[in-house]
């Protein structure tokens, strides 16, 4: 079944770094309304987006920032960047319980990650996507809100055979759906790998126009899903007949695109679909950037439209949901199981977890 | 720029599933060495995750021979 439970005690992408500034940003993650902003010295902070007084959202005007503090737009309760209330209108005494829950934040690889859970993250750090800020790559990115449960996006991204049908004319060609996959699950690390290596494939416009390749290509799609949130597609394209990567890992005859998604559940039936495309060629070519940004956004919106429809279908008959899995679903089934396990573990109190 | 070899490092708790080219069959390998072929990924995952139940590692000398056909269930 599609996973609907949330995996708590995990890192989630709440925003791109460039979205978080001296203006409040409100995001709902795993049903928790969260306020994000940057202090004057540039630090991103996250706290509950509901005033303790009468629950007015601190991300909504006329709530506003004064220095590092946020002032509620309803009656003026004022909070520091740690969420502690520092001023209550017309009285000296500040109730001891007047504090907003604050969230651990890590800013990394252009993302603002927020820890959602009941215990502290400790040494656990978010997974990496270093290409997004590497000087050797140029990145375009965006975020599309999805009105569907996050499990539908996980299913979608783990099975790229849908490119042939849903994204024909952009990234899909017949070879994607025709080529068998290999799947690996690393239980210890909690990672799902799905690989599809096409030896001789048509070059879809997405790659033909960005790389300038005219003929057929060798096309490798190596998915690395680090549940719950981070999805990496290591994409390699090269003209057919080009030498394979050298034993030392260098691969100068191929073009590399790192397609990164962050899948952040918002509510039971809505999801933030963060997407980024990092390339190691035509680094300074604005036209290539514009083309890849437009194309990938179009592709993401094709998925969004399809998944929004699917959500309606599934939500209409929750107890009559039936599906049929075939070979292309091998990776998606693995991802579902890891997510279900993480959701079960994240809910258990630590003593129970230790007893397992 | 470098191409990465996809997949998990060896010596870990890793499940591998290969779609046998030219067929509709999936070849599953457990970290314990057990292998089996399937036609349905749901049944395949049930078997893999059922480890160690029904997982008989092949004798070392058999490793280069073709994978045995799936047992009847
Ligand atoms: S609701 Fe925020 S001060 Fe009253
Ligand atoms: Fe898609
Ligand atoms: Zn086994």
The ipTM estimated for the assembled molecules is 0.87
Q: How far is CA A23 from CA A58, A85, A105, in A?
A: 11, 19, 17
Q: Which of A185, A222, A244 sits opposite B6 (nearest CB)?
A: A222
For A310, the 3-state DSSP assignment is helix
How confident is the model at residue B58, as a pLDDT?
Answer: 63
CA–CA distance, A156 with A179 (Å, rounded to integer): 17
Q: How far is CA A330 from CA A120, A164, A263, A334, in A?
A: 34, 18, 20, 6
Q: In terms of residue numbers, what domain contains B43?
A: 11-64
- CB distance A249–B17 less than 8 Å? no
How confident is the model at residue B5, as a pLDDT?
Answer: 46
How confident is the model at residue B60, as a pLDDT?
Answer: 52
- pLDDT tens per residue across span B21-67: 889 999 999 999 999 999 999 999 999 999 999 998 665 544 444 44
Read off the pTM: 0.92
Where along chain A do its domains lie? 18-106, 130-345
- CB distance A184–B16 less than 8 Å? yes
Quote the tokens at residue B67.
Answer: 């994978």
**Domain count along chain B:** 1
Q: How confident is the model at residue B70 (pLDDT cuts 50, 70, 90)?
A: very low
Contacts of A295 (CB under 8 A, 6+ apart): A170, A171, A205, A206
- CB distance B26–A256 less than 8 Å? no
CA–CA distance, A77 with A58 (Å, rounded to integer): 10
Residue B40 inside a domain? The answer is: yes
How confident is the model at residue A321, as a pLDDT?
Answer: 85
pLDDT (tens, 9 = 90+) of chain A, 356 residues, equals 888 899 999 999 999 999 999 999 999 999 999 999 999 999 999 999 999 999 999 999 999 999 999 999 999 999 999 999 999 999 999 999 999 999 999 999 999 999 999 999 999 999 999 999 999 999 999 999 999 999 999 999 999 999 999 999 999 999 999 999 999 999 999 999 999 999 999 999 999 999 999 999 999 999 999 999 999 999 999 999 999 999 999 999 999 999 999 999 999 999 999 999 999 999 999 999 999 999 999 999 999 999 999 999 999 988 888 999 999 999 999 999 999 999 999 875 443 333 33
- CB distance A252–B1 less than 8 Å? yes
Ligand 3 centroid–CA A124 distance in Å is 29
Radius of gyration from C-alpha coordinates of chain A: 22
CA–CA distance, B6 with A195 (Å, rounded to integer): 7
Residue B55 inside a domain? The answer is: yes
Q: Which residues of B touch A249 (CB under 8 A)?
A: 2-4
Q: Which of A244, A252, A337 sits opposite B45 (nearest CB)?
A: A337
Residue B3 inside a domain? The answer is: no
Most distant CA atoms of chain B, gap in Å: 48
**Which ligand 1 atom is at minimum distance from the Cα of A58?**
2
The number of C-beta contacts closer than 8 angstroms across A and B is 92
How confident is the model at residue B12, as a pLDDT?
Answer: 83
The CATH number assigned to the domain with range A130-345 reads 3.90.380.10
Residue B27 inside a domain? The answer is: yes
Residues lining ion ligand 2 (Cβ < 5 A) are A 303
Residue B53 inside a domain? The answer is: yes
How confident is the model at residue A266, as a pLDDT?
Answer: 98
Residue B45 inside a domain? The answer is: yes
How confident is the model at residue B9, as a pLDDT?
Answer: 60
Considering the segment(s) A18-106 as one domain, its CATH architecture is: 3-layer Sandwich (2.102)
Angle at B65 between CA B62 and CA B70, to 5 degrees: 90
């Amino acid at each position: 079944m599609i996973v609907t439970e949330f995996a708590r005690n995990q890192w989630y992408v709440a925003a791109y770094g460039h979205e978080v500034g001296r203006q409040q940003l409100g995001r709902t993650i795993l049903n928790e309304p969260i306020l994000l902003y940057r202090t004057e010295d540039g630090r991103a902070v996250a706290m509950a987006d509901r005033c303790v007084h009468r629950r007015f959202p601190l991300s909504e005007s006329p709530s506003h920032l004064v220095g590092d503090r946020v002032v509620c737009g309803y009656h003026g309760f004022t909070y520091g960047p740690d969420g502690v209330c520092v001023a209550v209108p017309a009285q000296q005494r500040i109730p001891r319980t007047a504090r907003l829950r604050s969230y651990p934040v890590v800013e990394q690889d252009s993302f603002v990650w927020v820890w959602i859970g009941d215990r502290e993250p400790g040494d656990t750090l978010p997974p990496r996507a270093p290409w997004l800020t590497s000087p050797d790559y140029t990145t375009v990115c965006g975020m599309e809100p999805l009105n569907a449960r996050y499990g539908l996006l996980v299913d979608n991204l783990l099975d790229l055979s849908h490119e042939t049908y849903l994204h024909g004319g952009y990234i899909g060609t017949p070879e994607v759906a025709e080529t068998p996959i290999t799947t690996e699950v690393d239980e210890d690390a909690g990672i799902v790998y799905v690989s599809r290596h096409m030896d001789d494939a048509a070059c879809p416009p997405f790659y033909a126009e960005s790389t300038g390749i005219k003929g057929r290509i060798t096309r490798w799609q190596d998915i690395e899903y680090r549940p719950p949130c981070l999805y990496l597609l290591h994409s390699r394209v090269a003209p057919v007949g080009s030498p394979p990567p050298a034993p030392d890992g260098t691969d100068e005859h191929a073009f590399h695109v790192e397609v990164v998604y962050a899948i952040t559940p918002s509510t039971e039936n809505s999801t933030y679909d963060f997407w980024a495309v990092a390339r190691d060629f035509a680094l300074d070519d604005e036209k290539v950037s514009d083309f890849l940004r437009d194309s990938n956004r179009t592709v993401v919106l094709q998925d969004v439209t399809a998944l929004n429809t699917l959500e309606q279908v599934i939500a209409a008959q929750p107890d009559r949901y039936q599906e049929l899995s075939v070979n292309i679903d091998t990776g998606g089934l693995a991802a579902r199981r890891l997510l279900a396990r993480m959701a079960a573990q994240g809910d258990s109190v630590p003593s129970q977890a230790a007893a397992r | 720029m470098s191409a990465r070899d996809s997949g998990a490092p060896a010596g870990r708790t890793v499940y591998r599933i290969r779609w046998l080219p030219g067929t509709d069959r999936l070849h599953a390998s457990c970290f314990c060495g057990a292998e089996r072929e399937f036609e349905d990924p749901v049944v395949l995952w049930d078997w893999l995750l059922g480890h160690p139940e029904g997982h008989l590692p092949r004798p070392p000398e058999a490793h280069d021979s073709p994978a045995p056909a799936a047992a009847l269930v």
